[in-house]
Amino acid sequence: MPLCVVGFLTAIGLTSTNLRPPEVLVVAKHVQGVLLVAALVGLGTGIHPPPSGAPAGGPWSSRSPPGYSSVASPTPACSCCDAESPRRRLLRAPSDLIQPHQPRRTVSSLPSVVQLAIFLASAAVIWVAGISLSKYTDVVAERLHLGAALGGVVLLAVATNLPEIAITVSAALSGNVEVAVGNLLGGIAIQTVVLVALDAFGVRSRKPLTYMAGSLTLVLEAALVIAVLLVVVAGSQLPDDLIFARVTPGPVLIVILWVVGLKLIGGPGSRLPWQQNGEPPDGQTHPRGHSRKHTEQHATRKGVSTTRAALVFGVAAVATLVAGVTIERSGETFFGNLGLSGVVFGATVLALATSLPELSTGLTATRSGDYKLAMGDIFGGNAFLPVLFLLVTLISGKPVLPSAGAANIYLTALGALLTVVYLVGLVFRPQRQILRMGIDSLAVLVLYAVGVVGLVALS
């Protein structure tokens, strides 16, 4: 694994310098991805829990009494002389010659510095691999016309939320259900705050993001997020024993509502009986999604085939999944030792780390003038995250929503409140800016800061 890390850093150096021929650049990029995945896989496979049957003092903690061999010997120990006969030496258990099997170290047994290093490295992988994943998702989706059908929309939603899926599965398998729930609900809140950064640093014109992206379709997408979160609150009030075949009614209703919402938004929602189909006359000039077409056209000009795009997509997906597992395991232990509860850690630090790809891709979209796509991707991801409650319930076999604590319901309300602010901004389209952001973005930033303080106090 150290050689893979060194090779990965060398490949980064080759791709970041101008002193190389184009052939070396292409090879270095492929080698960089392969070595990165190899390093992460090596890290993941090198950390295992100790055997369940191992005694507390280790597998060799139970020793024979002094003077007796662990192998049956017909000759008793002689205490009158120090010399040991050859026969006794052959019959004695060779514990001093054969090293006992040592149990492999778990993440929790690693030093705190190593845990933090794993967390930061995993966050960097999620950031870099998430950007590549989003880029080549656009290329594959445009060439295969995936966005035109419901199945393609679902596939794109899964692809763009792989970090959250990996963290959810890892936390559910390890029994840290509150980390999974906190990451999902906290991810909705913090990804909504990503729109604040897009408004302040991504919009080139001197007008707020909601003014440029004003669209009734985005209003419907924001309403879908709020509707799904309301079902989360309703599902948390159901009895704990209302479970059948490892499924509770709440997550099932969320999935149904999400699919129906996608059908309505993608069908009648795209042909609203309003002036210009619900689009304002002085908003975004180019149609929504034009930056995705530009990404595909740029890849075509560079000679990127569909096979190569699918291969890079697969490598980025594997790297994202592996990093999602390592960031959850290392972060939960490290920040847990600092006193952060599972809900607070999942809703703040972990959610922030997994939102880095959305920040990068959103800035790319807004700087290219595709404001509607930037907001639509955030709303679409937020509407999809509660769908993963069904996955958590199936894996853990527990009624996740009915057992959700007050902190989780608090996060649900916070995510819905932040979404309402942007929904109102899309309708009113304020033009005033403060600190290079709209009034709605400033309100979201203040509400989120106050909300985090309340979450810490609540937990």
- Confidence at residue 120, expressed as pLDDT on a 0 to 100 scale: 92
Q: Please name the amino acid found at residue 93.
A: A
> What tokens were used for 333?
């232990």
Chain-centroid distance of CA 170 in Å reads: 11
Q: Please name the amino acid found at residue 196.
A: V
Residue pair 230/413 in contact by the 8 Å Cβ criterion? no
- Confidence at residue 19, expressed as pLDDT on a 0 to 100 scale: 42
Residue 303 CB partners (closer than 8 Å, separation 6+):
none
* Whole-angstrom distance, CA of residue 265 vs CA of residue 286: 20
Q: Is residue 31 part of a domain?
A: yes
- Confidence at residue 193, expressed as pLDDT on a 0 to 100 scale: 94
373 with 234, same domain? Answer: yes
125 with 32, same domain? Answer: no
- Confidence at residue 24, expressed as pLDDT on a 0 to 100 scale: 47
23 with 120, same domain? Answer: no
Task: Give just the sign of the alpha carbon dihedral 84, 85, 87, 90.
Answer: positive
41 with 110, same domain? Answer: no
Chain-centroid distance of CA 304 in Å reads: 27
Judged on CB neighbours under 10 Å (0-12, 13-18, 19+), 272 is middle
- Confidence at residue 90, expressed as pLDDT on a 0 to 100 scale: 45
Phi first, then psi: what are they for 102, rounded to 5°? -95, 135
Give which of 239, 236, 272 is closest to 389, Cα–Cα.
236
User: How many folded domains does the chain comprise?
Assistant: 2
For 216-252, letters b (16+ CB in 10 Å) and e give bbbbbbbbbbbbbbebbbebbeeeeeebeeeebbbbe
144 with 16, same domain? Answer: no
CATH code of 434's domain = 1.20.1420.30
CB-CB neighbours of 150 under 10 Å: 12
Q: Is residue 394 part of a domain?
A: yes
* Whole-angstrom distance, CA of residue 135 vs CA of residue 309: 9
β-strands 433-434, 437-438 pairing:
antiparallel
Which residues span the domain enclosing 303?
105-458
126 with 39, same domain? Answer: no
C-alpha triplet 124, 422, 385: angle, nearest 5°: 50
* Whole-angstrom distance, CA of residue 266 vs CA of residue 383: 14
3-state secondary structure of 244: strand
* Whole-angstrom distance, CA of residue 61 vs CA of residue 55: 8
267 with 339, same domain? Answer: yes
* Whole-angstrom distance, CA of residue 392 vs CA of residue 403: 12
How would you write the pLDDT of the chain (459 residues) with one tens digit per residue? Answer: 444 544 444 454 444 444 444 544 554 555 555 555 554 445 444 444 444 444 444 433 444 444 444 444 444 444 444 455 554 544 454 444 444 444 445 667 788 899 899 999 999 998 888 888 878 877 887 787 776 566 666 777 787 788 888 888 888 888 888 888 888 998 899 999 999 999 999 887 778 999 988 888 899 999 999 999 999 999 999 998 888 888 899 999 999 999 999 888 877 766 676 665 566 766 676 777 677 777 878 888 888 888 888 888 888 888 888 888 899 888 888 888 888 777 888 888 888 888 888 888 888 888 888 888 889 889 999 999 999 999 999 998 888 998 888 889 999 999 999 999 999 999 998 888 898 899 999 999 999 999 999 998 887
Give which of 237, 260, 261 is closest to 249, Cα–Cα.
237
Helices (H), 368-402: 371-384, 388-396
* Whole-angstrom distance, CA of residue 57 vs CA of residue 46: 22
Helix axes 439-458, 406-428, angle to 10 degrees: 170
- Confidence at residue 255, expressed as pLDDT on a 0 to 100 scale: 94
Q: Is residue 87 part of a domain?
A: no
* Whole-angstrom distance, CA of residue 345 vs CA of residue 186: 9
> What tokens were used for 100?
């006992």
- C-alpha torsion 298→302→307→309, nearest 10: -50
Q: Please name the amino acid found at residue 373.
A: L
* Whole-angstrom distance, CA of residue 403 vs CA of residue 11: 47
pTM over 0.75: no
Q: How many residues does the chain have?
A: 459
250 with 109, same domain? Answer: yes
Q: Is residue 52 part of a domain?
A: no
Task: Give just the sign of the alpha carbon dihedral 317, 343, 382, 365.
Answer: negative
* Whole-angstrom distance, CA of residue 139 vs CA of residue 298: 9
Q: Is residue 19 part of a domain?
A: yes
263 with 187, same domain? Answer: yes
Strand partners, 244: 247
Q: Please name the amino acid found at residue 288.
A: R
3-state secondary structure of 433: strand
- Confidence at residue 417, expressed as pLDDT on a 0 to 100 scale: 96
35 with 179, same domain? Answer: no
Element (H, E) at 437: strand 437-438
> What tokens were used for 71?
């192998």
25 with 119, same domain? Answer: no
28 with 142, same domain? Answer: no
> What tokens were used for 188?
């909705």
Residue pair 75/30 in contact by the 8 Å Cβ criterion? no
Q: Is residue 116 part of a domain?
A: yes
Q: Is residue 56 part of a domain?
A: no
Chain-centroid distance of CA 453 in Å reads: 23
Q: Is residue 60 part of a domain?
A: no
- Confidence at residue 328, expressed as pLDDT on a 0 to 100 scale: 86
